[in-house]
Structure 1
Amino acid sequence: MATETHTTPQPPPPGPPPVRKDLSAPPAKAPSVRPRSTAYLLTGGLLAALFLITLVSAGYGAYDIPLGEVVSSAQHRLGLGGARLDRVGESVLWNVRLPRVVLALLVGASLGCAGALMQGVFGNPLAEPGIIGISAGAAVGAVASIALGLSFFGNWTITVCAFAAGLVTVTLVYTLSRSGGRTEVVTLILTGIAVNAFAGALIGLFIFFADNAQITQITFWQLGSLSQATWPKVLAVLPCTVLGLLIAPCYARKLDLLALGERPARHLGVDVERLRIVLILIVALLTAAAVAVAGVISFVGLLVPHLLRMVNGPGHRFLVPGSALGGALVLAVADLAARTVAEPAELPLGVLTALFGSPFFFWLLRRTRRRQGGWA
Structure 2
Amino acid sequence: MSATLHRLAGTSPSLDPMIDLVAEDMAAVNRVIVDRMRSEIPLIPELAGHLIAGGGKRLRPMLTLAGARLLGYGGTRHHLLAAAVEFIHTATLLHDDVVDGSDLRRGKRTANIIWGNPASVLVGDFLFSRSFELMVEGGSLRALEILSNASAVIAEGEVNQLTAVRRIDLGEERYLDIIGAKTAALFAAACRIAAVVADRGEAEELALDSYGRNLGIAFQLVDDAIDYTSDSGTMGKDAGDDFREGKMTLPVILAYARGGEDERAFWRDAVSGRRAGDEEFAQAVALVRQSRAVDDTFARARHYGQLAIDSLAAFPGSAAKDSMIEAVEFAVARAY
TM range (shorter): under 0.3
Normalized against structure 2, the TM-score is what?
0.27
Bigger Cα Rg: 1
Normalized against structure 1, the TM-score is what?
0.25
